[in-house]
Amino acid sequence: MSEEISNQILDAAEARFRTYGYGKTTMAEIASDIDMSTANLYRYYENKLAIGSAMASRCFCQREEFLSEVVNREGLKQAERLELFVLEMLNYMHGQFSEEPKIAELVEVIVTKRPDMVQAKVESDRKLISVLLQKGNDSGEFEVSDVDEMAHYVLAALAKFSSPFFMTMYPLEELSRLARGVVALILNGLKKK
């Protein structure tokens, strides 16, 4: 499948999922939105879950690229970089999910039917945090004996700020305030004594 056709399908599906929800969107509607027959759409994607999975994968990749840029941004101390990482992750997630609650249906489907994808996203986040912690060790700001293990703990502490499910429960200002407080606690434990 060409990337152009794939993007057309995923863009049409995303527009439908955001407007009507995953459950109320049909393969025929997605096909119609891009002037394609339903039979032809099935040549590209086996079913709606396959489209939703591809859409989620695309979103995960964009998010990883964005957060990777934060981890590798020059001119910051590691403590500043960790806080920026958490706040940027929160802003990204809030922007994606707070205004369009219908997309949460797709998230729920992916969590339930494709836990492998969710685990891969979590592992990607853990690796980015490991890089950040290692840079902190290398610069002398942090003293972390097992970077990979600590990355698991840090990620667990940040769950509220990286999960779509919390994005509609709190205003961004409140989540940002809480995130800064959690980062301060984490940094207190990571800093070289």
Helix (H, G, I), strand (E, B) or coil at 163: coil
For 39-92, where are the E strands, in sequence order?
none
pLDDT of 127 reads 97
pLDDT of 97 reads 82
157 contacts 186 by C-beta, under 8 angstroms: yes
Tokens 């990777």, residue located: 68
pTM of the complete model: 0.88
Number of structural domains (the chain) is 1
How many beta carbons lie within 10 A of that of residue 17, not counting itself? 25
pLDDT along the chain (193 residues), means of 10: 90 95 96 96 96 94 94 93 96 85 88 96 96 95 96 96 87 96 95 76
- The CATH number assigned to the domain holding 111 equals 1.10.357.10
Calculate the CA 131 to chain-centre distance: 18
Spatial distance between the Cα atoms of 2 and 144, rounded to a whole number of angstroms = 45
Expressed as residue numbers, the domain containing 36 is 3-190
- DSSP letters spanning 93-147: HHHHHSS-TTHHHHHHHHHHH-HHHHHHHHHHHHHHHHHHHHHHHHHTSB--S-H
